[in-house]
Amino acid sequence: MSSKNPVRTAPHFVAEVDEGGLGAVDAVRVSDRKSNLWLDAWRDLRGRWMFWVSAVFILFIVFVALFPTVFTQVPPNDGCILTVQNETQAAELGVPVGTVISDHGPLPGHPLGFTRQGCDVFSRIVHGTGTSLSVGLIVTVIVAVMGIALGAFAGYFGGWIDSFLMRIGDIFFAIPYILAAVVIMSMFLADRNILIISLAIGFFAWPSTARILRSEVLRVKQLDYVMASEAIGVSKLRTMFSHVMPNSLAPVIIISTVGLAGAITAEATLSFLGVGLPANIFMSWGNDIAQAQQSLRTAPQVLIYPSIALSFTVLAFILLGETVRDALDPKARATR
């Protein structure tokens, strides 16, 4: 007992047993509702406006990419004129002969105005959707597959496998992927296409994903349930696929959605540097943003509209990535 002198004798207070009584120790509180991981995730997603906004927007973008002609009949590349040269054109556009169309503001039938080359901005954005979206998705898939595979093996098996894979990663990491892509794209002067540019970007962008997954795997593999799984007799590989990987993927989902945005911008950067997709064959938001720089001060709309398309698409993917990750994670679900 304490060596101190007691100042007082405290009264012995006993509370009334409250309404609910004591109940059983550690009573289980679960409902009988049927559930599984995907059903729970869907229930969770259903109630979130962020999910609906982003999902609907993405579906819309995909629709635009597949069927651009539903939205505009104006060709994106053909029939671009710098100035109105004859009466037919003047009648069509509703402006007098001699008007400069290059960088012109909106006219009837051309709601967003014209580029420096006199092409319709709206039409170029609509037709560019497919290119930008494909590059973004293909790069993301390449980066995710390579990053996840290499990062998971490196982290889970450790030792020399880890050192070897991560040093390779470091080599790729040390080369700025834009620079590498410039070199690769310069090698393919004649036949540049969406797949080539996606490979050029994706092949050098995976190390950061691999690093993130590896560190996550390193954390997860120390947890007791991984050891428990080994103690049961589950093989190392099966433990990795059924326990370690699913629990390490959350940050990769997030980084991938951000990476999707990065890929679309990377394509734009390459186009700006003149080593991207040829502007006269492929419409892409990146191309338009790059070319708009020349007329930024006189005709900002040429830059702003493709940029808005890019930002909203990227935002939609990020929002979707985040809501899906939260919904698939029972830990995050429990707190709501």
The C-alpha atoms of residue 98 and residue 163 are separated, in whole angstroms, by 68
Site for another protein contains 160 (CB under 8 A): no
Least distance between another protein and beta carbon 322 (Å): 17
Q: Are 75 and 118 in contact, with CB atoms under 8 Å apart?
A: no
Q: Which two tokens stand for residue 282?
A: 């492929």
Neighbouring residues of 206: CB distance < 8 A, sequence distance ≥ 6: 142, 143, 146, 147, 150, 169, 172
Least distance between another protein and beta carbon 236 (Å): 12
Site for another protein contains 176 (CB under 8 A): no
Residue type, 136: G
Q: Which of 82, 230, 254, 307: binder of another protein (CB under 8 A)?
A: 230
The C-alpha atoms of residue 23 and residue 25 are separated, in whole angstroms, by 6
Residue type, 11: P
Question: How far, CA to CA in Å, does 262 sit from each of 169, 205, 320?
Answer: 19, 10, 16
Site for another protein contains 36 (CB under 8 A): yes
Q: Which of 54, 129, 140, 247: binder of another protein (CB under 8 A)?
A: 247
* CB closer to another protein out of 18 and 78: 18
Site for another protein contains 297 (CB under 8 A): no
Site for another protein contains 86 (CB under 8 A): no
| Total count of residues recorded for the chain | 336
Q: Which two tokens stand for residue 119?
A: 């092409």
Site for another protein contains 334 (CB under 8 A): yes
Least distance between another protein and beta carbon 143 (Å): 23
* CB closer to another protein out of 78 and 224: 224
Of 242, 9, 261, which is closest to residue 137 (Cα–Cα)? 261
Q: Which stretch binds another protein (CB under 8 A): 49-57, 144-152, 179-187, 233-241?
A: 233-241
Work out the end-to-end distance of the chain between its first and last CA atoms, rounded to an integer number of angstroms.
Answer: 45
* CB closer to another protein out of 197 and 245: 245
Site for another protein contains 19 (CB under 8 A): no
Site for another protein contains 335 (CB under 8 A): yes
Site for another protein contains 49 (CB under 8 A): no
* CB closer to another protein out of 250 and 261: 250
* CB closer to another protein out of 3 and 86: 3
Q: Which two tokens stand for residue 50?
A: 């962020």
Site for another protein contains 8 (CB under 8 A): yes
Site for another protein contains 329 (CB under 8 A): yes
Site for another protein contains 159 (CB under 8 A): no
Residue type, 186: S
Residue 330, classified by CB atoms within 10 Å of its CB into exposed (0-12), middle (13-18) or buried (19+), is exposed
Q: Which backbone phi and psi does 279 adopt, to 5 degrees?
A: -65, -25
Least distance between another protein and beta carbon 79 (Å): 55
Least distance between another protein and beta carbon 208 (Å): 24
Site for another protein contains 4 (CB under 8 A): yes
Residue type, 325: R
User: b/e string for 276-304 if b means 16 or more Cβ within 10 A?
Assistant: bbebeebbbbbbbbbbbeebeeebebbbe
Residues that bind another protein (CB under 8 A): 1-15, 17-18, 22, 25-26, 28-32, 34-37, 40, 223-225, 227-234, 238, 242-243, 246-247, 329-331, 333-336
